Each structure stands twice: as structure tokens, then as C-alpha cells.
């Protein structure tokens, strides 16, 4: 009888072979990086989650369930055409986010400048009253 495969370790090893980092897998699965780390320690993974992981890594579920490192490397070498395991397409434009950050910095700077001007005006008013 074949040895029972530790599914978490199989996921981890496949992820490593495919050069997929935990945080990238976590984003794709909509879970935290810590959850991926915990998942990789589980001997058995729930079937629904296993399917989602397999789909994300673009491997058959059986590749995880019956993981054999030599066979996996051979399969990937023969069938994997793309260099990235996950087709990552951000749902935002990074340049837009950068511009938003710059705008926020400007807004905060203007608020700080206004606060300092108000302080100066108050001090000048107090000094003028004291001179009277």
C-alpha cells in the first residue's frame, strides 16, 4: 500500500517548486500568509480548499493528493509553459495608488502648515495684548 501523503507538505513543496511565495498564494486564496503557513502543516486539507489551492497553483488535485517530488518536477518541466505559477493581475493601477499617496502627503502637509500658521497668529495676538 502506498505511503499516505502529507497534503500540507505536498502543497508547500509544489509551491516551492513553482516559485510561488506564501503571501502570493495567500492573496490568491484570499487568506493570510499565516493561514497558508498553518495550512502547510496539516496532514489533510479540506477537499474544497485543496481544489482551490490546486487551481491556484495550476496543478491537478491528484498532484497534491499523490505527491511524489520526482514525478512532480518531471510533470512541471514537461507541461508548464508559463514562468509564473499565478497569473497575478492587480485590480488597481499602482501608479494611481502612488499618486493618491502623494496627494495625501500634500493634504497632510497643508493641514500641518495651517496649524503652524494658526499657532503663530495666536502667539502674535497674545504678544500684542501683552504689549498693551
Instruction: Examine the domain organization and report whether 57 and 121 are in the same domain.
Output: no
- The predicted model gives 15-32 an average pLDDT of 90
pLDDT at 33: 92
Between helices 22-29 and 47-57, what is the axis angle to 10°? 120
**Domain span at 98:** 91-132
Instruction: Examine the domain organization and report whether 58 and 121 are in the same domain.
Output: no
pTM greater than 0.75 (yes/no)? no
Asked if residue 35 is part of any domain, the answer here is yes
Q: What's the domain count of the chain?
A: 2
**Mean confidence (pLDDT) of the chain:** 84
Last residue of a domain, one of 38, 53, 79: 79
Closest CA to 85 of 49, 107, 54, 58: 58
Instruction: Examine the domain organization and report whether 26 and 71 are in the same domain.
Output: yes
Amino acid at each position: 500500500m502506498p505511503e499516505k501523503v502529507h497534503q500540507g507538505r505536498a502543497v508547500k513543496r509544489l509551491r516551492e517548486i513553482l516559485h510561488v511565495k506564501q503571501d502570493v498564494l495567500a492573496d490568491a486564496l484570499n487568506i493570510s500568509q499565516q493561514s497558508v503557513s498553518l495550512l502547510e502543516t496539516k496532514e489533510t486539507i479540506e477537499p474544497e480548499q485543496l481544489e482551490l489551492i490546486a487551481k491556484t497553483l495550476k496543478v491537478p488535485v491528484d498532484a497534491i493528493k499523490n505527491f511524489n517530488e520526482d514525478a512532480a518536477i518531471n510533470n512541471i518541466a514537461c507541461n508548464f509553459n508559463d514562468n509564473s505559477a499565478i497569473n497575478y493581475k492587480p485590480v488597481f493601477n499602482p501608479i494611481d495608488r502612488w499618486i493618491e499617496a502623494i496627494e495625501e502627503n500634500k493634504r497632510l502637509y497643508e493641514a500641518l502648515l495651517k496649524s503652524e500658521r494658526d499657532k503663530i497668529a495666536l502667539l502674535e495676538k497674545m504678544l500684542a495684548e501683552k504689549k498693551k
